[in-house]
Amino acid sequence: MPEKATAATEAASKFRDEFGRLVDEVSKVIVGYRDIIDSVLTCLLCDGHALLEGVPGVGKTLLVNTLARCLELEFSRIQFTPDLMPADVTGTTMILDDEKTGGRCQQFVRGPIFGNIILADEINRATPKTQSALLEAMQERHVTVSRVTHVLAEPFMVLATQNPLEMEGTYPLPEAQMDRFLFKIHFPFPSGREIAEILERTTTTQAPQASRIMGGEQVLAMRRVVREVPVASHVQEYAIRMVLATHPELPDAPEITRNYVRYGSSPRGAQALLLGGKVRALLDGRFALAREDIDAVCHLALRHRLVLNFEGEAANLTPDAVLDEIRHKIR
């Protein structure tokens, strides 16, 4: 037992050091947003995808670009527009000239989804048909075109930016698409002090640049450490009760859920709670999950999986406020 405890402590310490190096490198370019950087990196190390929401100009795309520079991985950007077609994302089979035979042959031409870090920029400006082109890739990690399956490389992560739905020219993401994202991360508007720092960094002749400090093998190794963190039965039960409490049709649902929620979280929400909580535990130097770790990632993991009804929207409630009340009721 002492040897196992020592090994677990060393694994947690090494994980925290590597995580800190990555955060420091990204922070050379990104002003503030420490919690957001932590959340994006947590999602990466949980083998998940992240949906980044905020008004234009707050640094969503810059954060993804900077993360890609810090990792020795293939980066691909897809600019979502209303006229973007599914084949523009996944790729398509084309008839090409065969130089050897002089005839013609069919060849699959890969789309931009074939990369490691995928930036789906302004994803809600594309139609639902094109948004759905990401579903198979995000869940099964492969793409099927003309009845042929093409496996994606690992590690693979989609970071999608989204403008608020009330802005002109946006389409709501289907529930199935939203559920594929491990976390939904809100970008607040920067403070005056942060804007001053942004201006200092971006309006001079020497803009800061991030360096490559980590490769794909290190990312995969850190993901394995996350999976190895044990979960006590009472902590897992807490995560399950939190997810069940978001369903208004269940008899034990809290009053706020029955009154203001239309749909609750899928089982993927419980997976996101446990995986995100494991990273939080490792960053705290612990090789064991606690209820406090579940609470720390509750909003990130469940806010996009909880759909308010008309009464909830009329009362100006937010999913975060409902989740806070749920946590209070089930403790």
Q: Which of 25, 31, 13 is nearest to 202 (CA)?
A: 31
Domains of the chain as residue ranges with CATH:
1-81+115-228 (3.40.50.300), 229-331 (1.10.8.80)
DSSP summary character for residue 209: -
Q: Which of 32, 76, 19 is nearest to 221 (CA)?
A: 19
Summary mean pLDDT of the chain: 84
pLDDT of residue 167: 59
Distance CA 156, CA 140 (A): 11
Cβ density class 2-14: b for 16+ within 10 Å, e for less:
eeeeeebeebbee
Per-residue pLDDT of the chain (331 residues; tens, 9 = 90+): 466 567 777 777 888 888 888 888 888 777 777 888 889 899 999 988 999 887 776 777 788 888 888 888 888 888 888 888 888 888 887 777 767 776 777 777 788 888 888 888 888 888 888 887 888 888 888 888 777 788 888 888 998 888 776 556 677 777 778 888 999 988 877 778 878 877 777 777 677 777 888 888 888 888 998 898 888 999 999 999 999 999 998 888 888 889 898 888 899 999 999 999 999 998 888 888 889 999 999 999 999 998 888 988 888 888 999 999 998 888 7
pLDDT tens-digit map of 267-297: 999 999 999 999 999 888 888 888 999 999 9
pLDDT tens-digit map of 53-67: 877 767 777 888 888
